[in-house]
Amino acid sequence: MSDLKAPVAVDSDGSEAIQRTGVDSRPAATREEALELYEIQHTVDMIRSGGYTRVALQFPDELLADSSLVSTLLQNSLPDVCLCTLADTSLGSCCVDEVAASHNGADLIVHYGRTCLSLTSRIPVFYVFGREPIDTMDCVEKMPKGDVLVVCDAPYMYKIGEIAGGLRRRGVGSVVESRFDVPGVYVPGAEKRRPGRVWDLEGRPLSEYNILFVGQESLTLTNILLTQRCRTVFSYDPLKRVLREETMANRHLARRYHMVQRARDADTIGIIVGTQATGYLGLIEALKTLLRRARKKFYVFTVGKLNVAKLANFPEINAYVLVACPENSIVDSKEFFAPVVTPYELLLAVSQREWSGDYVTDFGALLSEIENTSVVEDDDVPHYSLITGKLMQRRHVDAQGSGGEREEESTSLVVGVDREIVRYLGSAGAEYLLSRSFRGLGHDGAEEEEQTEPMVAVEGKSGIARAYAREPRD
Amino acid sequence: MVNFNTGQIHDLMSKVDNIRNISVIAHVDHGKSTVIDCLATEVSTILPAKAGGGRYMDTHADEQERGITIKSTVIPMYFKLSDDQMEDISTKEHGNGFLINLVNSPGHAELSSEVTAALRITDGALVIVDAITGMSVQTETMFHQALSELVKPVVMINRIDHAMLKAEFSQEKLYQSFARVVENVNFSISAYQGEEATGNPIVSPELGTVAFGSALHGWAFTLRQFAVRYSKQFGINRTKIIEKLWGENYFNATTKEWSTKSADTSGNRQDRAFNMLVLDPIYKIYELAMNSRKDEALAFAAKLDIALTSEERDTTSKALLKVIMHKFLPAAEALMEMICIHLPSPKKAQLYRCDYLYEGPTDDESATGIRNCDPNGPLMFYVSKLLPASDMRRFYAFGRVFSGTVSPGMRVRIQGPDYVPGNRKDLHIKPIQRTVFMVGRGVTDLDHCSAGNIVSLVGIDQFLLKSGTLTTSDTAHNMKTIKFSVSPVMQVAVGVQDPKNLPNLLEGLKRLSRSDPCIHVSVSESGEYTIAGAGELYLEACLSDLENDYARVPIIINCPVVNYYETVQATSSLTCMSKSANKHNRIYMQAAPISDELTKAIEEEEINPHGDAKERARRMANDFEWDSNEARKIWCFAPDDKGPNILVNSTAGIQYLDEIKDMCCGGLQAAAHSGPCAGEKIRGCRFNIMDVVLHADSIHRGNAQIMPTMRAVIYASMLSAKPTLQEPVYLVDVQCPSSLNTSICSVFSHRRGQVIEVNTHSSSMCNVKAYLPVAESFGFTAYLRSATAGQAFPQMVFDHWSTMNGDVTDPADKINAICRAIRKRKGVGENVPTYGKYHEL
């Protein structure tokens, strides 16, 4: 029985899914396995009791192979319910794809696989985490002594009590287990609590605890490493049956802090919509306000799943901020031409707050952080950037794109050549265009000596791109 | 010590003819600190008047309490010349009181960064040289910098006591040793004769620009002092006798006749005048005093008109020696006299330094102001250094007023290194909060400070990076930015244990990097911070500053590593091609080496991306044997748009090529920072774009397609062009007893060193000069000491980059091993790729 894989990260361009070979993909589940793994009976009960009639089943890419089987099994038990399968989510597959579901007029979404437990705004959700086999005794025996908080990845959640009990019996110290605070069906508006991992440390600070994370290396683990300031994080991989001490947290944070520095140098920011989870619109608005206060130019992008080529099409953007669910917002890739930061990192970048080593990914917490933070008001003082090795002067670009930096001393009536226009308009885009050497054909007022002569037409290449005709072949 | 109130300081500062701004060039071992101590204690150091005197002092009581400690500073001194000495001063209208600003550079002074900063704001330099060993390599480097900055040198030959007592030099040998030092200095000067503006900077004892002495024993002299003494005795004109006191002039004590031969007509040996008249009394005092012949010593002192108090008469041996010598030839007096007479005033110096210092036209108001050192001209102020204040958070902008007058509250234009007149980039207009005069550990506020003086400004540090020009003239250009001679050949990675200290570390690094012009702080993609500097000792010193003063958090320091460059040794064996990710675009390229001369010319910015392309092409064709057509088709230099790698467009008639030019350049800029073999910077390579195939639709030939392709094809073309590494090499100077000569040579050969010169300068001592790869220098000092029982001490200066021979791809080769080690450190796959990885068919 293979694993339920990590959700496809939002920065994946899908090519991985296309190129994936048979070695990697798990064999489709058998009927018996599926009944257990996909909690068919429980799902059926939920749908029945809720009286839902159109249900969307959302599968992550790696579970897609089982979708028809699951759909058939459910349909068999629910002949009068209209089921449809959602695949290839436009954003991260850990988030509930509400838009796709509403295209089908669904009144319930069943989400399979790992989830970030983000909220939906309109359609109720029922989460099926799946159940993966685990040798709890092995895990318990390998855990060193010390007070511990047990956190399980979704597919292992059903065994958390067993693990915690085992640890208590071994007497490693005080053991606290986390719970998934998920209602059977999450109905937007009806629930006051937001679902998520909760734990009760009985008043002691987390810094006195170790964390035991049960599950494979994933964004969930990264998120815990970054956001939870505990003593040590241990991760137990049930597949490899290995317990290891996570030491990468500091390097992770150092790398993220480097991103903050790069974002600080940026004048033009791209806000990328990377989730549909409730609150993303509010967060985007908050970020816009923040950037306006910091007098930075911004643009909002929806590009679906991120990839390098998509973002590289906008070279005038100096940094991107990705508004995505907590587990998906950290893009840890060196490939991107411009840094991609999280909203919290952007907040650090534009404010003068001292970073305390904390890390916030939760929307609600972020919103209040943003509101409570003052941006750098003293616009005139440049900051010294270690990345460029120069003093960086903030460009006074008005967020509205006009009426920006003007020469106070200028008394000229006519706005002259390029540079003047840019100054007058204060447009970041126009300024970028100026810095390029190629500005399009027939550029007005071009005074370059090397005005290219019109060329005599020559015959170009013919054939297809992978091997043009008349091309030397080896 | 004299206390001056603010009014008196202002008075001194306004008499610009009587100001001398000087720096000290010396190797630490040669007694620099003793000389400075000697001057500072003997001469009236100017101290701000105590509380109540200065009206500004009380306002900054907090600073007084904390006791401002500043790393590098000025020692202002006041010295009064006698009427007799004034005869040699050409401009006398400002009286005989002189203000001497000695810009001291403590700390890692031997590593020249601080000295370089000091040279800019001074007009003269006191070069201190050891009587036995002569100029050290480091002194020589600094000396060359001084000459190129048009700073006039005077020399003090120090540690004569050492030569006399320890090395037991005879008088004639000592003279020979002096003559050799003078000759060396002048040789150095004549090698730099290109800069003739200072007139003739040759030093010579007859002119009085060479002093001899022992700072340790508190005495020094120039020939002038002896000439004064003997002109009375012999009744000969002072200027005439001074010539007789040096060189091939002999005096026959019996016949009382001068001659130019070492033997008289009857064949009797005659004594050199210098030995007999100058050295002999000194030797005698030493002999008598050190051998406890106290009465004779006292009698001899009386003969020389040295008046001793009864207390002084009670001293014995060394103390007595010091007392007598100090009274006989007071060091401070001799040096001050030499400085005041022979080093130029700011007014004199700026006349010829102006063209060198100022980047703008030679006839605008700022240039005129500088040339005339005009206190009423437009303000021209050069900030040579940012001095950290005691809290290590803010900085004083330390520098010199070259024209005009600076005062608190004045709004000035702060022009950074990237400022271009008429543009607003790198320009800030801000008021100066305070103008302070730094004296040792304290500061005094000044109402104003006029041209020719050295002061510090408060309140503008945020707008300055490391140096900069301040002015009040809208048309002013920048003053030339100082070139620092130190190359960052070694680097060390730093980090913190607790991530919450990261911001502190970062702030600390920023402060360190701003206050030290020779430190390169960089951040890698992975968020790792590295500090690069000139050598092991230097980095150690910086790291301790960082931990204790700037960051104030515990830091983790990794082992220092050497920086390499990647380069190629041949033209690519084939035309490499890479395709973009969407396979629709192709770039064909060949790489080839650039000659060493051109590489250096680009690094020294003689060949640069600015200016007329045709002019540059002509120079490259004439001086560096480039095809002038190709030289015209240079697209860019890299890294950082000015580095020693060139992208040449060798194609013709390719559609859309203009559109992707920026992207190609961007690709090279990125690649040049991290080469294919070990991820080190690329140096000395040219890349020829041979052909390009582009997709007709612009969205498919965007940045994301072109830049990575460009990088790949650069890697492919380098890897097919015999890639190798360049390693930094030190010039090492070892001074040791001659007997150890051979064992030192074998020490070098063990460490891949290459001995280039063995210089025996006395029967017992010799100097060994050798090249030593920086990679082999770790712990070299200790190794050498143990191999020579502590008798040899090396000095190391970065000299050049040396291309390593060998094959990067051969696993048995040393270069391959180096690459693998670097790759491992950087966390990229250990195996050096072959061109096949990037070249596509």
Structure tokens at A277: 């989870």
| Nearest-CB residue to A337 (from B462, B501, B703) | B703
Note whether A313 contacts B503, CB cutoff 8 Å. no
Asked whether the predicted pLDDT for residue A89 surpasses 50, the reply is yes
The conformational region for residue B625 under phi > 0 = left, psi -120 to 50 = alpha, else beta, is left
Tokens of B549: 């003063």
Q: Is A267 in the same domain as A158?
A: no
Nearest CA in chain A to B523: A387
Distance between terminal CA atoms of chain A?
46
Question: Alpha-carbon distance A380 to B460, whole Å?
Answer: 12
Higher pLDDT, residue B233 or B365: B365
DSSP characters for A311-338?
A: HHT-TT--EEEEE--TTT-----S--SS
Q: Is A390 on the interface with B (CB under 8 A)?
A: yes
Same domain, B178 and B84: yes
| Sole residue written with tokens 């903030």 | A394
pLDDT digits (tens, 9 = 90+) for B57-80: 323 333 333 333 334 467 788 888
Domain for residue A399, yes or no? no
Q: Residue A233: give its domain's CATH number.
A: 3.40.50.11850
Helix (H) / strand (E) containing B670? helix B657-673
Find the range with the poorest average confidence among A250-264, B101-115, B731-745.
B101-115
Same-domain check for residues B285 and B387:
no
B562, B586, B612 — which closes off a domain?
B562
User: Who among B527, B653, B662 is closest to A254 (CB)?
Assistant: B527
Are B156 and B18 found together in one domain? yes
**A438 and chain B: CB distance < 8 Å anywhere?**
yes
Residues B602 and B557 in one domain: no
Contacts of A128 (CB under 8 A, 6+ apart): A38, A39, A42, A43, A110, A111, A112, A113
To the nearest 10°, the Cα dihedral for B118, A382, B426, A416? -170
Pairs across A and B, CB distance < 8 A = 116
- On whether both A14 and A119 belong to a single domain, the answer is yes
User: Residue A23, exposed/middle/buried by CB under 10 A (0-12, 13-18, 19+)?
Assistant: exposed
Spatial CB neighbours of B416, under 8 Å, sequence gap ≥ 6: A391, B426, B427, B463, B464, B465, B468
Do B500 and A251 lie within an 8 Å CB cutoff?
no
Name the residue of chain B whose CA is nearest to A250's CA. B499
Is there a contact between A391 and B426 if contact means CB atoms under 8 Å apart? yes
Return the sign of the alpha-carbon dihedral for residues B606, B611, B613, B614.
negative
Please count the other Cβ atoms lying within 10 Å of the Cβ belonging to residue B246: 21
**The predicted structure's pLDDT at residue B65:** 39
Name, in order, each residue with C-beta under 8 angstroms of A348's C-beta and a sequence gap of 6 or more: A260, A355
Tell me the chain A residues in contact with residue B609 when contact means C-beta distances shorter than 8 Å.
Answer: none
Same domain for A13 and A109: yes
Q: CATH number of the domain that A349 lies in? A: 3.40.50.11860
Neighbours of A155 (CB within 10 A): 23
Q: pLDDT, tens digit, for every residue of B502-527?
A: 888 888 888 888 877 778 888 877 77
Give the list of residues 6+ apart from residue B315 with CB closer than 8 angstroms, or none: B323
- pLDDT at B588 exceeding the cut of 90: yes
Residue B589 has pLDDT above 90, yes or no: yes
Residue of B nearest to A356 (CA): B500
CB atoms within 10 A of CB A409: 7
In which element (H, E) is residue B63 found? Answer: helix B61-66
Q: Cβ separation of A257 and B525 shorter than 8 Å? A: no
Q: How far is A414 from chain B (nearest CA, A)?
A: 18
Residues 6+ apart with CB under 8 A from B265: none
User: Is A256 touching B (CB cutoff 8 A)?
Assistant: yes
Q: How confident is the model at residue B46 (pLDDT cuts 50, 70, 90)?
A: low
- A416 falls in which pLDDT band (50, 70, 90)? very low
In this structure, what CATH number is given to the domain that contains residue B757?
3.30.70.240
* Mean pLDDT, rounded, for B718-742: 86
Interface check for A474 against chain B (CB to CB < 8 A): the answer is yes
Supply the mean pLDDT for chain B.
81
CATH of the domain at A52: 3.40.50.11840
Residue in A closest to B708 by C-alpha: A335
Specify the pLDDT at position B831: 86
Residues A14 and A122 in one domain: yes
**Quick one: pLDDT band at residue A126, thresholds 50, 70, 90?**
confident
Which tokens in the block code for residue A310? 């998509």
Q: Is residue B354 part of a domain?
A: no
Nearest to A354 among B425, B503, B525 (CB): B503
- Does residue B688 sit in helix, strand or coil? strand
Q: Which of residues 289-318 of A touch B (CB under 8 A)?
A: 308-313, 315
Q: Do A429 and A325 share a structural domain?
A: no
- A447 in the same domain as A420: yes
Contacts of residue B808, defined as CB under 8 A and 6 or more positions apart, other chains included, come to: B677, B723, B724, B725, B815, B816, B819, B832
Q: Are A344 and A377 within one domain?
A: yes
The predicted model scores a pTM of 0.76
Whether residue B793 sits in one domain with residue B715 = no
Residue A362 lies in a domain: yes
Which chain A residues contact residue B522 at CB under 8 A?
386, 389
Q: What are phi and psi of B45, to 5 degrees?
A: -80, 140
Looking at the predicted structure, is the pLDDT value of residue B809 above 90? no
CATH number of the domain to which B257 belongs: 3.90.1430.10
Contact A323, A287 (CB under 8 A): yes
| Residue of B498, B522, B658 lying closest to A438 (CB–CB) | B658
The domain of A425 spans 404-474
Does the pLDDT at position B248 exceed 80? yes
- The three-class DSSP label of residue B125 is strand
Contact B325, B219 (CB under 8 A): yes
**Opening angle at CA B748, ends B743 and B753, nearest 5:** 160
Among B510, B529, B704, whose Cβ lies nearest the Cβ of A309? B704
Give the number of domains in chain B: 6
Looking at the domain assignment, is residue B366 inside a domain?
yes
Do the chains contact at B661 and A380, CB–CB below 8 Å?
no
Count of H-run helices and E-run strands, chain A = 15, 19
pLDDT of residue A147: 85
Range of the domain at B760: 725-806
Contacts of A251 in chain B (CB under 8 A): 526-527
**Last residue in a domain, options A224, A250, A276:** A250
Residue B153 resides in a domain: yes
| Any domain includes B83 | yes
Task: Tokens for B12, please give them.
Answer: 């001194």
Instruction: Select the residue of A312, A334, A386 nearest B521 (Cβ to Cβ).
Output: A386
Domain end: A222, A250, A278, which one? A250
The Cα–Cα gap between B353 and A291 comes to 49
Quote the distance between the C-alpha of residue A305 and its chain's center. 10
Q: Does residue B835 belong to any structural domain of this protein?
A: no
Contact A310 B699 (CB under 8 A): no
- Residue ending a domain, among A80, A104, A128, is A128
Q: What is the ipTM of this complex?
A: 0.72
pLDDT for A320: 92
pLDDT, mean of residues A232-244: 84
Assign A1 a pLDDT band (cuts: 50, 70, 90): very low
Task: Report whether B10 contacts B446 (CB < 8 A).
Answer: yes
* pLDDT number for residue B645: 92
Query: Which chain B residues are within 8 Å of A207, Cβ to Cβ?
Result: none
Contacts by B260-268, CB closer than 8 A, 24 or more apart: none
* Pairwise CB contact (< 8 Å): A258 & B523: yes
Place of tokens 């059926």: A44
B841: in domain: no
Mean pLDDT of A141-165: 84
Q: Give me the sheet containing B250-252, strands edge to edge.
A: B257-259, B250-252, B271-272
Query: At B406, which amino acid appears?
Result: V
**Residue of A266, A232, A235 whose CA lies nearest to A341:** A266
Residues B70 and B205 in one domain: yes
Q: Does one domain contain both A31 and A115?
A: yes
CB contact under 8 A, A253 and B659: no
Does one domain contain both A9 and A115? yes
Asked if pLDDT for residue A376 goes beyond 70, the answer is no
Q: Is A221 exposed, middle or buried (0-12, 13-18, 19+ CB in 10 A)?
A: buried
Tell me whether residues A455 and B653 touch, CB distance under 8 A: yes
In this prediction, residue A454 carries a pLDDT of 65
Tokens read off for A343: 């909203």
Contact A357/B at CB under 8 A: yes
Shared-domain flag, residues B87 and B179: yes
pLDDT tens by residue, A127-143: 888 777 788 888 888 88
- Hey, CA dihedral for A41, A43, A49, A52, is it positive or negative? negative
Average pLDDT over residues A158-163: 84
What is the full DSSP assignment across B398-418? EEEEEESEE-TT-EEEEE-TT
Q: Does position B52 have pLDDT exceeding 50, yes or no? A: no
Q: What pLDDT is stored for residue B111 in this prediction?
A: 55
Interface test with B, best of A13, A250, A471 (most B CBs within 10 A): A250
Whether the predicted pLDDT of A407 surpasses 70? no
**Residue B196's pLDDT is what?**
56
How many domains does chain A contain in total? 4
The domain spanning residue B548 has which CATH number?
3.30.70.870
Q: Contacts of residue A257 in chain B, CB cutoff 8 Å?
A: 499, 502-503, 506, 527
Distance CA A68, CA A31 (A): 11
Lowest pLDDT segment from A209-213, A421-425, B441-445, B553-557: A421-425
Q: Cα–Cα distance between A398 and A388 in angstroms, integer? A: 24
The answer on A158 and A78 residing in a single domain is: no
Instruction: Classify residue A337: in a domain, yes or no.
Output: yes
Contact B273, B244 (CB under 8 A): yes
A319-346 burial code (b ≥16 CB/10 A, e <16): bbbbbbbbbbbbbeeeebbbbbbbbbbb
What pLDDT was estimated at residue B688? 93
User: Of the residues B313, B348, B383, which one is the last residue of a structural domain?
Assistant: B348
Residues A374, A462, single domain; the answer is: no
Same domain, B527 and B627: no
- Interface probe with B: pick from A314, A380, A438, most Cβ of B within 10 Å: A438
CB B589 within 8 A of CB B689: yes
Give the closest-approach CA distance of A8 to chain B in angstroms: 21
pLDDT tens digits along B286-304: 888 888 778 888 888 888 8
Report yes or no: B822 and B564 within 8 Å, Cβ to Cβ.
yes
Q: Is the pLDDT of residue B99 over 70?
A: yes
Is the Cβ pair B426, A311 closer than 8 Å? no
Subunit contact B523:A387, Cβ cutoff 8 A: yes
* A211 & A279 share domain: no
Contacts of B659 in chain A (CB under 8 A): 438
Do B32 and B86 sit in the same domain of this protein? yes
Instruction: For residue B394, give how far its alpha carbon lies from the nearest alpha carbon of chain A (Å).
Output: 13
CB atoms A391 and B416 under 8 Å = yes
Q: Does A462 touch chain B (CB under 8 A)?
A: no
Record: contact A389-B503, CB cut-off 8 A = no
Q: In which element (H, E) is residue B815 found? A: helix B814-826
Mapped onto helix, strand or coil, the DSSP state of residue B140 is: helix
Q: Please give the pLDDT value at position B384.
A: 86
For B613, what's the count of Cα atoms within 13 Å in the CB-facing half-sphere? 14
Helices (H), A326-393: 343-350, 363-371
Answer yes or no: is pLDDT of B225 > 90: no
Check which CATH number belongs to the domain holding B166 and give it. 3.40.50.300
Is the preceding peptide bond at B388 cis, omega within 30 degrees of 0?
Answer: no
B477 part of a folded domain: no
Domain-terminating residue out of B687, B722, B757: B722
Residue B495 distance to chain A (closest CA, Å):
9
- With cut-offs at 50, 70 and 90, classify the pLDDT of residue B592: very high
Does residue B708 sit in the same domain as residue B736?
A: no
Neighbour-count burial of B707, counting CB atoms closer than 10 A to its CB (0-12 exposed, 13-18 middle, 19+ buried): buried
Contact between A306 and A331 (Cβ < 8 Å): yes
3-state secondary structure (DSSP) of residue B577: strand
DSSP-based three-state secondary structure for B686:
strand
Check B658 against A437: CB less than 8 A apart. yes
User: Does a structural domain hold residue A397?
Assistant: no
Structure tokens at A386: 């270690």
- Chain A nearest-CA distance from B703, in A, is 6
B839 lies in some domain = no
Q: Do B527 and A437 touch (CB under 8 A)?
A: no
Shortest CA gap B585–chain A (Å): 8
Question: Looking at the structure, do residues B696 and B795 belong to the same domain, yes or no?
Answer: no
pLDDT band at B685 (very low <50, low <70, confident <90, very high): very high
Is B462–A381 a contact, with Cβ atoms under 8 angstroms apart? yes
Q: Is A111 helix (H, G, I), strand (E, B) or coil?
A: strand
**CB environment B610-642: b (16+ within 10 A), e (fewer):** eeeeeebbebbbeebebeeebbbbbbbbbbeee
Give the residue among B240, B265, B245 at the shortest CA–CA distance from B254.
Answer: B265
Cα angle A168, A174, A177; round to 5: 75
Residue among B386, B521, B523 with most chain A CBs within 10 A, to mutate = B523
Query: Looking at residue B493, what is its pLDDT?
Result: 87
Q: Tokens in use for A276?
A: 């549909």
CB contact under 8 A, A258 and B526: yes
**B152 and B83 housed in the same domain:** yes
